[in-house]
Amino acid sequence: MARPPGIGTSCSIFVGNLPYDSQEDELREIFGRVGTVTSVRVVCDRDTKVPKGYAFCDFSDSQSVQRAVEELNNVEYNGRKLRIDGAERELHAGGPRGGGDG
């Protein structure tokens, strides 16, 4: 069976359109419905520490990622429809960004 677009072998999902007051423990509970959650990271502005409205969730296996995309995409959470996509490693690797040494 073919994987839906955006689903690779990664065990992470991108969660967009989050309410700005989202808590990691609430998200862990929601995503725990489709598999074993190993971590949840709500992304915050580097300077202000204010949440940016998206997060990453890691699961123990890639089947849970597929279930999350299929079962939780567009589910309403605190008045907003979640946008769930399989996360590519590059989105949250945290490696160096552009620029030169000059």
Domain tally, the chain: 1
Contacts of 83 by beta carbon, 8 Å cutoff, 6+ apart: 14, 15, 16, 17, 73, 74
Entry pTM: 0.75
The answer to whether residue 51 is domain-embedded is: yes
Task: Tell me the backbone φ, ψ of residue 66, rounded to 5 degrees.
Answer: -60, -45
CATH number at residue 44: 3.30.70.330
Mean of all residue pLDDT scores within the chain: 85
The answer to whether residue 94 is domain-embedded is: no
* Mean pLDDT, range 28-33, rounded to an integer: 97
The answer to whether residue 2 is domain-embedded is: no
Domain of 40, in residue numbers: 12-89
Output 88 or 83, whichever has higher pLDDT.
83
pLDDT at residue number 10: 82
The answer to whether residue 1 is domain-embedded is: no
The answer to whether residue 80 is domain-embedded is: yes
Q: How far is 61 from 81, CA to CA, in rounded Å? A: 24
The answer to whether residue 101 is domain-embedded is: no
